[in-house]
Amino acid sequence: MNGQAEPINLSRLPKIPGSPQVKENKKIMLALAIVFPFIGLLVLLALTFGALLITRKKKFTKELEDWEYQYGPHKFSHKILSMVTKGFKERELLGRGGFGRVYRGVLPTSNIQVAVKRVAHDSRQGMREFVAEIATIGRLRHLNLVRLLGYCRHKQELFLVYDFMPNGSLDKFLYGQPKGMLIWMQRFKIIKDVASGLFYLHQQWVQVIIHRDIKASNVLIDNNFNARLGDFGLAKFCDHGTDPQTSHVAGTLGYIALELACTGKANTSTDLFAFGTFMLEVVCGRRPVEHQASPKKIILIDWVLECLERGNILEAIDQCLGTEYVVEEAELVLKLGLLCSHAVGAARPSMSDVVKYLEGEAQLPDNVSDIIKSRDFREATNGQDVAPIFVPSVTITEPFVSRGR
């Protein structure tokens, strides 16, 4: 009206099919049609996966016991252990003992060799001993202790997974064929290695750990011929400065101290007795108790003591060594073995003293032979006549038979 043309609103104009704007809108709609379902699918998958995780976590949590929360290292599935041992085939068997069988295996992801201990159904080692082994070795870290990698509970079966020790147990070298494979230097180092591990258990860890089954078959040898103490199935805990209370005898015949057989109370001193017997076993190449053709038994401790009383303790040295040994070291170990396995518990040294003697940081007492020879149990009972008491519950372990690890 005023003579000026009204501006044209392009947005109100009808869209021409095939125009750039129409094509752009179609592309946007197509993209949204593809993206929205995809996003929805991802959300659905995420929710489903989360629900499965929560369900499995609840199920796993329900299966765990209190001790597994506190102590349990890695938990293996039975399916994995069956796979790595090839179904627990006989050809994968490393050895057998009183607590079951041990199999060789290889973990699929890390390709690490392991030893899987399968506790027998009729084994004397039940859940209590299994828990003790989990609770003990699962937290220990020492060069001379076998490392526990994990465990498995499947129905009524119990499994423990350890580092694989390629050289097997020590008794294979002491009594296997060919017999006497160990030279003196190796024997002396093995004794010092086990002493170091036991010192850690008795005096260096946060609690006192009484092993209760120290013997050659429970000492394993690694690739570098380091000795490692294993099998903590009978181990007991107590706080430093307290007296552990045990109710039954446990261990292996020949390694059990007399006071333990009488009272059933294990402590660090009874471990020392077993370690003393172990030292004599390694040096002499003879079992703690040997059965001859006649009914007579030869007790290793008594035999070495007789050699000492005759004035020739070196007579007890393993004949396989010939003269290839260090005289001073051999005399030290034999006398220290007799001292540790003394009939009177108060006469036995502590593990810290044992380590010092073996490392040459301290000397045995000048009258050590006199101390050793005074093997009178009456001294330990203040002169009173004490007859062995009946112990209703006894756990005696069988020697572990190595089968060429």
pLDDT greater than 60 at residue 15: no
CA distances (Å), origin 377, targets 21, 47, 261, 313: 108, 72, 13, 23
pLDDT tens-digit readout, 310-333: 999 999 999 999 999 999 999 999
- Residues in Cβ contact with 152 at an 8 Å cutoff, skipping those fewer than 6 apart: 75, 76, 77, 78, 81, 158, 159, 161
pLDDT tens-digit readout, 140-168: 889 999 988 888 888 777 888 888 998 98
Give me the pLDDT at residue 386, please: 40
Fold exhibited by the domain 74-163: Phosphorylase Kinase; domain 1 (3.30.200)
pLDDT tens-digit readout, 210-248: 999 999 999 999 988 999 998 887 888 777 877 666 656
Q: Was 335 annotated as part of a binding site?
A: no
Instruction: Tell me the pLDDT band of 276, cut-offs 50, 70 and 90.
Output: very high
Residue 213 known to be catalytic? yes
Calpha distance 209→4 (Å, rounded): 105
Give me the pLDDT at residue 120, please: 63
Please name the CATH architecture into which domain 170-402 falls.
Answer: Orthogonal Bundle (1.10)
How much is the average pLDDT of 200-208? 92
Whether the pTM exceeds 0.85: the reply is no
> Across all residues in the chain, what is the average pLDDT?
79
Helix intervals (H) in 285-367: 300-309, 327-340, 351-358
How much is the average pLDDT of 191-211? 94
pLDDT tens-digit readout, 239-271: 787 766 665 677 788 899 888 888 888 899 999
Give me the pLDDT at residue 7, please: 59
DSSP summary character for residue 145? B
- Residues in Cβ contact with 121 at an 8 Å cutoff, skipping those fewer than 6 apart: 156, 157
pLDDT greater than 60 at residue 56: no
Cβ neighbours, 10 Å, residue 355? 19
The residue from 171, 213, 231, 271 that is catalytic is 213
Instruction: Tell me the pLDDT band of 35, cut-offs 50, 70 and 90.
Output: low
How much is the average pLDDT of 105-125? 78
Residue-range domain boundaries for the chain: 74-163, 170-402
How much is the average pLDDT of 104-121? 84
Give me the pLDDT at residue 62, please: 44
Whether residue 137 contacts residue 72, with contact meaning beta carbons closer than 8 Å, is answered with no
DSSP summary character for residue 169? B
CA distances (Å), origin 235, targets 117, 190, 229, 256, 395: 17, 21, 12, 14, 12
pLDDT greater than 90 at residue 286: yes
Most confident segment among 82-91, 149-158, 175-184: 82-91
Extended strands (E) in 32-112? 74-75, 93-97, 100-106
Give me the pLDDT at residue 198, please: 97
